[in-house]
Structure 1
Amino acid sequence: MTPSQLLSEGVELMLYGMGSVFVFLTLLILSIHLMARLLGRIAPPAAVAAVTPAKPAVQAEQGPEPDVLAAIQAAISQHRARRD
């Protein structure tokens, strides 16, 4: 085969592959829209109740808990000891 024949067959194969992917994705999108409409008619969307989020209790102290603070301090001291 000549290079021009190989190139034309390659382009033909590329167009066939891209066309089949395009057709598949188009059919997929159409089927999704069709199913959404069908489900919309069969079971209309339920009314969503307005939900107010519960406010968390305000802590008197906004800092970390004492055991967390102790763990942080221990980690910092270990890090500094390894650096020296």
Structure 2
Amino acid sequence: MTPSELLLEGVELMLFGLGFVFLFLILLVVMIRVMSWVIERFAAKPPVPVSTSVAPQSASSEPSADVLAAIQSAIHQHRVRRG
């Protein structure tokens, strides 16, 4: 075999190899998309949590007396522990 024939065989083998790798990667991407579609279609949907909304207090309303007493007690305990 002449060097030019060897070079042409090498180029041909390289092109076949690159073609097979390219086809494999395309097949891999297609199969991943199909699996994703199947999982989305047949997987159980997670339950949607029901939100229990509490009516927000207006900015001008003051805390109740019980809340103020609890805050004052917590501040007093903190200062006693701190020294």
TM-score, normalised relative to structure 1: 0.52
Deviation at 1:13, TM superposition (A): 0.2
**Structure 1 pair 19/47, CA: closer, same or farther in 2 (3 Å)?**
farther
Deviation at 1:48, TM superposition (A): 8.0
**Structure 1 pair 8/36, CA: closer, same or farther in 2 (3 Å)?**
same
Q: Where does structure 1 lack aligned partners over 5 or more consecutive residues?
A: 50-84
- Are 1:21 and 2:38 an aligned pair? no
SS at match of 1:46: coil
Considering only CA atoms, is the larger Rg found in Structure 1 or Structure 2?
Answer: 2
**Structure 1 pair 19/48, CA: closer, same or farther in 2 (3 Å)?**
farther
TM-score, normalised relative to structure 2: 0.53
**Structure 1 pair 45/23, CA: closer, same or farther in 2 (3 Å)?**
farther
Runs of 4+ in 1 over 6 A off after TM superposition: none
> Aligned-residue CA RMSD in angstroms?
1.9
Q: 1-side partners of 2:44 and 2:21: how far apart?
A: 33
Q: Where does structure 2 lack aligned partners over 5 or more consecutive residues?
A: 50-83
Per-residue deviation, residues 20-60 of structure 1 (Å, max 9, x unmatched): 011011100100000000110001553687xxxxxxxxxxx
Q: What residue is the counterpart of 2:30 in the other structure? A: 30
**Structure 1 pair 45/13, CA: closer, same or farther in 2 (3 Å)?**
farther
Q: 1-side partners of 2:25 and 2:48: how far apart?
A: 32
